[in-house]
Structure 1
Amino acid sequence: MPWSRLSGSISSPKVDVAIDMGNPFLNLTLDGFLKIGTVAATRAAAEDTYHILKKGSVSRHNFEDMLKKMCKEGAYWGAIGGLYVGTEYGVERIRGTRDWKNAMIGGAMTGAIVSAATNNKKDRIVMDAITGAAVATAAEFINYLT
């Protein structure tokens, strides 16, 4: 019986922008802000483009609303990404080791800070800290697998 095998790999293009702020902490925080903010702005643009095309008409007002949403989403998620990356780096420097625990602590702190900034319910802050820790730790473990 004939048998064949396909071998190969898929890779995405890598774009890296380096802005030297003179401090590794600031460099990583800004890098996280820019990368995550760009992803969020792109997602907002794609979502709004879909809605505009579905509606069937394009206007200046639609375009302005899309740009506002892109900026808002990019700044919000960029700030969260920058906060997480900076926190994880700070934890790494304090602990003196690089492992998954830094991601867990950084995620918990980021979740708690973002939650505390948006509401004042203690139970919600704790739940968001746990969620942040779980997501960051899971992402770190997945990163180790690849």
Structure 2
Amino acid sequence: MPRSRLSGTFLTPKVDVVIDMGNPFLNLALDGFIKIGAVAVTRVAAEDAYYAVKSGNISSGKLEHSLKKMCKEGAYWGTVAGVYAGMERGVQRIRGTRDWKNAMIGGAMTGLVISAASNNNKNFIIVDAITGGAIATAAEFINYLT
């Protein structure tokens, strides 16, 4: 059976913003907040720009709505990423080892904390904790493959 393989690298510029909070744990959480928050803002901006061009209607009301949505999504996903980065690092420090279990525990704790903070009922909190652990573990395994 014929097989093919795509091989190569993508060279992308790397931008790092360093804000020293005086604690490596806080630095890691802030880094996650900024990076993932920026991704969420960019996603909302691209999505809303597409719909504005598609509809041909750009108004100040829609622009204001887009800006509010960008801030809300950026803050939400940035917070989730910051909490996850902090949780995973904390678990790593407590366990004294770096492996996929840290991602699983950190993801589960993040799902639990974010869900509890959003006032979900008890059943959703457990489901969100399981989902967070599963997503973080899957992402960690995918990182091992690449």
With the length of structure 2 as denominator, give the TM-score of the two structures: 0.91
In 1, Cα distance between equivalents of 2:6 and 2:77: 39
More displaced, 14-23 or 124-133? 14-23
In 2, Cα distance between equivalents of 1:69 and 1:6: 38
Is 1:128–2:134 an aligned residue pair?
no
Is 1:103–2:69 an aligned residue pair?
no
With the length of structure 1 as denominator, give the TM-score of the two structures: 0.91
Structure 1 residues 134 and 59 mapped into 2: Cα distance closer, same or farther (>3 Å)?
A: same
In 1, Cα distance between equivalents of 2:53 and 2:65: 14
Structure 1 residues 6 and 100 mapped into 2: Cα distance closer, same or farther (>3 Å)?
A: closer
In 2, Cα distance between equivalents of 1:92 and 1:6: 35
RMSD of aligned residue pairs (Cα, Å): 1.6
User: Residues 5-84 of structure 1: matches in 2 within 5 Å?
Assistant: 8-84=8-84
Partner SS, residue 85 of structure 2: helix
Structure 1 residues 7 and 124 mapped into 2: Cα distance closer, same or farther (>3 Å)?
A: closer
Once the two structures are TM-superposed, the CA of residue 139 in structure 1 deviates from its matched residue by 0.4
Identity of aligned residues (%): 70
In 1, Cα distance between equivalents of 2:10 and 2:82: 28
Once the two structures are TM-superposed, the CA of residue 6 in structure 1 deviates from its matched residue by 7.7
In 1, Cα distance between equivalents of 2:7 and 2:100: 32
Partner SS, residue 74 of structure 1: helix
Once the two structures are TM-superposed, the CA of residue 17 in structure 1 deviates from its matched residue by 1.2
In 1, Cα distance between equivalents of 2:100 and 2:21: 26
In 2, Cα distance between equivalents of 1:84 and 1:24: 15
In 1, Cα distance between equivalents of 2:109 and 2:31: 19
In 2, Cα distance between equivalents of 1:134 and 1:6: 29
Once the two structures are TM-superposed, the CA of residue 62 in structure 1 deviates from its matched residue by 1.8
Once the two structures are TM-superposed, the CA of residue 11 in structure 1 deviates from its matched residue by 3.6
Structure 1 residues 106 and 7 mapped into 2: Cα distance closer, same or farther (>3 Å)?
A: closer
More displaced, 56-65 or 135-144? 56-65
In 1, Cα distance between equivalents of 2:62 and 2:6: 46
In 2, Cα distance between equivalents of 1:112 and 1:122: 10
Query: Which consecutive unaligned segments of at least 5 residues does structure 2 have?
Result: none
Once the two structures are TM-superposed, the CA of residue 12 in structure 1 deviates from its matched residue by 3.2
Once the two structures are TM-superposed, the CA of residue 78 in structure 1 deviates from its matched residue by 0.4
